[in-house]
Amino acid sequence: MKFTDQIKAKAEELELSKKLDSLGSAAKEALSDAKSKAGEVAHDSKAKVEGLLDKAGTVIDERTDGKYADTVAKVKTKAGDLVDKVASHRPGAEDAADEAATDVTDAAAEADVPSDDADPEAPPA
């Protein structure tokens, strides 16, 4: 019997395939939980993060006489976008986004705001 055959036989004897599947499932669940928790923390801390970014930007602008104001603004925007992206992974975030989109659509309909698809030169209905 070849060495590889012995390894395969031992793996089958120990039911390694089932154990690896179980481990993979547990790891996937743990990562999903971590992603959700990170989303919750990001959502709950968004205002604090924005405040700290504003403070840091102010200090940098003061010390550099505004020389890097554009760069600081870009970094603040990117950091805010990153917090939003992480926060979107919290439980219920998709439902909240769908509700917000529906609210905006409903508000536009109530205000009789034309859609982006409307022909701007067409007479009002």
Q: Is the pLDDT of residue 100 over 70?
A: no
Who contacts 45 (Cβ-Cβ below 8 Å, separation ≥6)? 83
pLDDT level of residue 113 (50, 70, 90 thresholds): very low
Q: At 30, is the pLDDT very low, low, confident or very high (cuts 50, 70, 90)? A: very high
- Going by C-alpha positions, the residue among 59, 107, 51, 58 that lies closest to residue 79 is 51
Q: For position 92, what pLDDT does the model report? A: 81
Task: Provide the token pair at 106.
Answer: 């409903």
Per-residue pLDDT for 4 more than 80?
Answer: yes
Residue pLDDT, tens place only, 52-78:
999 999 999 999 999 999 999 999 999
Alpha helices (H) along 15-68: 16-63
What the block records as the tokens of 63 is: 């010390």
pTM above 0.75, yes or no: no
* pLDDT for residue 114 is more than 80: no
Predicted pLDDT at 57: 93
Residue, of 124 and 28, whose pLDDT is higher: 28
- Structure-token match 């089932």, residue found: 18
CA pseudo-torsion sign 85, 91, 93, 95: positive
For the chain, which residues make up each domain, given as ranges? 3-109
